Amino acid sequence: MIVGFLGTGIMGRPMAGHLQAAGHALLLVQHRSPLPEELVAGGARACANAQELAAGSDVVILMLPDTPDVEGALFGTSGIVAGLKPGTLVIDMSSIDPVATQDFARRVAAVGGRYVDAPVSGGEVGAKAASLSIMVGGSEEDVAEAMPLFELMGKNITRVGEVGCGQIAKVSNQIIVALNIAAVAEALVFASKAGADPEKVRQALQGGFASSRILDVHGERMTKRTFDPGFRIALHRKDLNLALNAARALSVALPNTAATAQLMAVCDANGLGQADHSALVQGVELLSNHRIG
């Protein structure tokens, strides 16, 4: 089928590549970065704007940084809804506000389109390996139609519920991931300041109850100080703000999420917003006046 793909950044680039490799034709439009040369060389066609992309697509996929980016792509000047054909399925794989997602779905439905939210987890590594976890919200029929595309990009694909439920699951995921990264960062800074080799401590903990994927991957990034972004602190901070805003509306207490969001603010204020979220350890280091390596 012809897939309009908007958002070929760190995550979207390999995701779109998997679709292309499986034989789907791609229509692209530049968002923030230049269009990937390998996708264009593989036959992807560049469109002048999102309206043109939607008009030529059987399905439209968005993989954008934040809620305003998605809203602008959908409803802005020469946006997707202006070119959307009746019955076209719009799949938003961005991580954005669940309440806004439900509103976007209603507005897309008003012009005859269909909407599925399908945020992902797994970072750049998962995007490249086509092993992303995909959390899906939408009708059973629409999700079934999208499933062959999801299966080209991910492994753990779960329909959580109706539109908006995918984003709720993703916000929940980001809470768990952020708090685990912060815990690993605190433990390794503590171990180092107390006189132990933080990498040896990390290895020792891998065989016990503290073992986790975060300790394995992000802990190693902390000790090796490899902070090139797979998922940037600025984006994760955005996700925690989504969680805190929703929690206020729901009267839910998220004390540890709030503390981790403040740690991300420390990192952002010290020029680390574009670093990988494993660089949270640098925030703990700054507060502790101790560097682990």
CA neighbor of 99 nearest in space, from 71, 123, 122, 74: 71
Q: Judge contact between 169 and 270, C-beta under 8 A.
A: no
Q: How many angstroms separate the Cα of 285 from the Cα of each of 187, 188, 194, 216?
A: 11, 10, 13, 20
Task: State the Cα–Cα distance between residues 130 and 133, nearest whole angstrom.
Answer: 9
Task: State the Cα–Cα distance between residues 91 and 177, nearest whole angstrom.
Answer: 24
Q: Terminal CA-to-CA distance of the chain, rounded, Å?
A: 50
**61: part of which helix (H) or strand (E)?**
strand 59-62
**Of residues 85, 155, 170, 200, which has the active-site annotation?**
170
- Has 85 been annotated as catalytic? no
Task: State the Cα–Cα distance between residues 255 and 247, nearest whole angstrom.
Answer: 10
Task: State the Cα–Cα distance between residues 19 and 238, nearest whole angstrom.
Answer: 28
Task: State the Cα–Cα distance between residues 6 and 292, nearest whole angstrom.
Answer: 40
Angle at Cα 136 formed by Cα 76 and Cα 254, nearest 5°?
90
Angle at Cα 15 formed by Cα 13 and Cα 20, nearest 5°?
90
Q: Is 217 exposed, middle or buried (0-12, 13-18, 19+ CB in 10 A)?
A: middle
For tokens 């020469």, the residue is: 78
For tokens 């439900």, the residue is: 102
Residues catalogued as catalytic: 170
